[in-house]
Amino acid sequence: MKPRILVSREVFDETLALLAEHFDVESNQTDQRFSADELAARLADKQAAVISTSDRIDAALLDRCPGLKAVCNVGVGYNNIDVPACTSRGVMATNTPGVLTDSVADYTFGLVIATCRRVTEGEHYLRDGQWKGTYLKQMLGQDVHGATLGIFGLGRIGQAVAKRAAGFDMNVLYHNRSPLDAATEKTFNASYRTKEALLRESDIVVLLTPYSAESHHMIGAAELALMKPSAVLINVARGGIVDDAALIEALKARRIWAAGMDVYENEPALNPGFLGLKNVVLSPHLASASEPTRKAMANTAARNCIAALTTGAPPNLLNPEARR
Ligand code: DGY
C-alpha cells in the first residue's frame, strides 16, 4: 500500500502526477484554506503533507498526527512551521529555497519602480477619468537610478536585488545580523551599515529579512522616524516585520514619502488604513507568483516529500536532527 499524504492547497496537475507515482494523495483542489482543526483532522491518518505558507504547523497539530513524518512547505519562508516542535517529534520540515530567487528579486524591483514613480496611482487617476492633459508638475516621483538602496537581509534574494541595482547605478547598503565577507561585499558592491545608519542614509529601504520573534516589528514608529522624508519602504519579506499601524501613521503624516507592500500583518486581512492612502502601492503576496516559479516551488516541495518518505534525505531539509 502506498503511503498516504495530504496536499493542503491547490497545486499544478504535474505536481499531483509526480506525487501520485509514490503516494495515495488526498488533495484540496478547491483551494479553500483548511481551519487549524480541519487540517489536523485531515493529517491524522497521513504520513506527509505538502502545505502552503498559510498553513500553521504547531505542537498542538503535531500531537494530533502521530504518523506524520514530513511537512513540505511550498515556499522559502517557513515561519508558519514550528521547526523545534517538528524536530522533537521526529517530523522532517522542508522549504523551497533557490527556485524563486530571481522572480522575487524581479518583483521587488517592480515594486520599487511602481512606488517611486507612482505607477499604480497614475493608473487609478486615468481609470477614474481624472486625466485632463499632461503638465510639468504632474505626479512627480522619486528617481530609482542613482538612488541609495538599503537592503535588510543580503541573502540569496537580497543579492539578486543588489545585482539588479547595479544596472540602475545605485549605491547599495545592507544590514545583516553580521557583515558578510569582503569578497561577497565586493561582488555585490554593497557596504555594511548598522540598522540605524541604513535607515538614515537610504532613499529606498527594502526588507528581505525572514520573520521571527527577533524581526517582529523590526520597523516601527522609531525606525520610520529615522528615515528621510523622501524615502520609500518596500516590504516583500513577511507581514509582521513592519508595524503596519505605525507605517500607516508615517505615510499619512508624510514622515516617509511612500511604501510598496506585498505582505501584511495578519494577511489576508489588510489594515483598512492602507486603503485610503495614495502613497502606498499594495499587492497581495505576489512576489514569487510567476507561472514557472510557482510550478518550480510546488514541484520542489513534491520532490522533498518524495525524498522524505523514500530515502529520508530530502534536499531542502530544515531539521536534519529530525530524521528517524
Ligand atoms: C515564500 O516562498 O516564502 C513566499 O513568500 C511565498 O509564500
Please tell me if the CB atom of residue 100 comes closer than 6 angstroms to any atom of ligand 1. Answer: yes
pLDDT tens column, 71-96? 999 999 999 999 999 999 999 999 99
CA 30/CA 115 separation, integer angstroms: 34
Predicted local distance difference test score (pLDDT) of residue 31: 83
**DSSP label of 192:** E
Query: Does residue 314 have a cis bond before it (omega within 30 degrees)?
Result: no
- pLDDT value at position 30? 86
- Residues in a beta bridge with 74: 52
Ligand 1 pocket, residue 51 CB under 6 Å: no
Q: Would you please indicate which residues are annotated as catalytic (active-site) residues?
A: 238, 267, 285
| Best residue for ligand 1 mutational test, from 33, 51, 53 (most atoms within 8 Å of Cβ) | 53
Q: Report residue 61 as a C-alpha cell.
A: 497539530
CB atoms under 10 Å from CB of 136, counted, come to 5
Q: What is the pLDDT of residues 89-141, one digit of tens each?
A: 999 999 999 999 999 999 999 999 999 999 999 999 999 999 999 999 999 99
Which ligand 1 atom minimizes the distance to the CA of 53?
Answer: 7
DSSP letters of 64-87?
T-TT--EEEEESS--TTB-HHHHH
Cell numbers for 19: 506525487
What's the grid cell of residue 10? 491547490
Output the pTM of the full model: 0.96
Length of the chain: 324
**Residues 21-42: tens digit of each pLDDT:** 999 999 998 888 999 999 999 9
235 lines ligand 1 (CB under 6 A): no
Beta strands in the chain (DSSP E): 4-7, 24-27, 48-52, 70-74, 92-94, 148-152, 171-175, 190-192, 204-207, 232-235, 258-261, 280-282
**CA dihedral for 300, 284, 220, 148, sign (positive or negative):** positive
Measured distance CA(142)–CA(203) in Å, rounded: 9
297 falls in which pLDDT band (50, 70, 90)? very high
Q: Render 241-252 in DSSP notation, one character per residue.
A: SB-HHHHHHHHH
Q: Pairing relation of β-strands 92-94 and 4-7? A: unpaired
Is-contact 232 255, C-beta < 8 A?
no
State how far the alpha carbon of 310 is from the alpha carbons of 2, 73, 91, 313, in Å.
Answer: 11, 18, 14, 8
Distance CA 128, CA 131 (A): 8
Tell me the C-alpha to C-alpha distance, in Å, between residue 110 and each of 169, 262, 316.
16, 11, 28
Q: Residue 259's closest CA among 219, 311, 315?
A: 219
Q: What are phi and psi of 72, to 5 degrees?
A: -120, 105
Rounded mean pLDDT of 305-324? 94
Q: How far is the CA of 95 from the centre of ligand 1 (A)?
A: 9
By alpha-carbon position, which residue is closest to atom 7 of ligand 1? Answer: 75
| Cβ 75 under 6 angstroms from ligand 1 | yes
Percent of the chain with pLDDT over 70: 100
Dump pLDDT digits (tens) for 156-215. 999 999 999 999 999 999 999 999 999 999 999 999 999 999 999 999 999 999 999 999
- Residue owning the nearest CA to atom 6 of ligand 1: 75
Q: Average pLDDT of the chain?
A: 97
Residue 123 and residue 111: Cα distance in Å, rounded? 15
Pocket test for ligand 1, best of 76, 79, 207 (most atoms within 8 A of CB): 76
55 CA to centre of ligand 1 in angstroms = 12
pLDDT band at 320 (very low <50, low <70, confident <90, very high): very high
> If you compute the radius of gyration of the chain from its CA atoms, what whole number of angstroms results?
21
CA of 53 to the centre of ligand 1 (A): 7
Atom 4 (ligand 1): residue with closest C-alpha?
75
Q: What is the pLDDT of residues 208-259, one digit of tens each?
A: 999 999 999 999 999 999 999 999 999 999 999 999 999 999 999 999 999 9
